[in-house]
A and B are shown apart, each in its own frame.
Chain A
Amino acid sequence: MTDILLILGDTQLMSLFTAAAFIVVGLFAAIFLDNIIKKIIGIAFIEEGANLFIVALGYKAGGVVPIFLPGMSADWFAANSAYPLPQALVLTSIVIGASTLAVMLAISMVLYKKYGTLSASEILGDKKTQTLAEKNAGDNNE
């Protein structure tokens, strides 16, 4: 019982578990679901899990926010603040994730305009049957 409470109280470990759950759910959605918009949302969840993983690696238990305030000594700040480099990089990654999501949604809108459906299997199946029919026609002609 006390072990479970220790694990639940460890914010870094629980954040790593949450990131793993995001990546698992996102991979499931991106691979096994049929709707294109749900596949895109799965890819967005994978990005979110990766961001959370990188920020959780720089966490320090009992530390302070990495902002240098007057009254702090430099040695104390270096020993007690969270690691700021992953935070600065993840800040860029979130914005890039939003813009890639916008590009993917625009491509899905073009696909809907061309095929009239959002189902990936129908779009791929349409192509496969066309190519098979063309192949059979070519064989018959020969």
Chain B
Amino acid sequence: MIEVVVMIIAILGCILAILQRDLLKVAILTGINGACVAFLFQFLLAPDVALTQAIVGTAIVPVFLAMAIYKTQRMDDK
């Protein structure tokens, strides 16, 4: 049953990341989503994929996004 909780947190992080105006919050919510997907890979009997996803989805992708936001603009002006 814990898989369902992790899946719901992953989908919520996905949807909330789309709805934010502050792009730095978008980067952090993308990291939460990547961490939940890493747990999900572990539950799906793929520990090697879970290790790679934990490093890439939790650390590298949010840092890349934060660097791009630092070089451009932080607020999404609609």
**A45–B37 alpha-carbon span in the complex (Å):** 11
Residue of A whose beta carbon sits closest to that of B8: A18
Residue of B whose beta carbon sits closest to that of A35: B76
Contacts of A123 in B (CB 8 A): none
Q: Is the CB of A108 within 8 A of B68?
A: yes
Contacts of A14 in B (CB 8 A): 3-4, 7
Q: Is the CB of B30 within 8 A of A42?
A: no
**Given A18-B11, A95-B52, A109-B72, A41 and B17 contact (CB-CB distance below 8 Å):** yes
**Given A25-B14, A34-B78, A90 and B56 contact (CB-CB distance below 8 Å):** no
Contacts of B76 in A (CB 8 A): 35, 37-38, 118
The A interface is mostly helix, strand or loop, or mixed, namely helix
Sorting the interface of chain A by its residue count into under 10, 10 to 19, 20 to 34 or 35 or more gives 35 or more
Q: Is the CB of A91 within 8 A of B65?
A: no
**Given A38-B76, A66-B45, A15 and B64 contact (CB-CB distance below 8 Å):** no
The interface of chain B, by Cβ under 8 A from chain A, is 1, 3-4, 7, 10-11, 14-15, 17-18, 23, 26, 30, 33-34, 37, 40-41, 43-49, 52-53, 56-57, 60-61, 64-65, 67-69, 71-73, 76-78
The interface of chain A, by Cβ under 8 A from chain B, is 8-9, 11-12, 14-15, 17-18, 21-22, 25-26, 28-29, 33-35, 37-38, 41-42, 44-45, 48, 51-52, 55-56, 58-60, 63-66, 81-82, 87-88, 90-91, 94-95, 97-98, 101-102, 105-106, 108-109, 112, 118-119
Q: Given A15-B3, A18-B11, A38-B76, 19 other A-B contacts at CB below 8 A? A: A11-B3, A11-B43, A11-B44, A14-B7, A21-B11, A25-B15, A25-B18, A28-B18, A33-B18, A38-B26, A48-B34, A52-B41, A55-B44, A58-B46, A81-B45, A98-B64, A101-B64, A108-B72, A109-B72
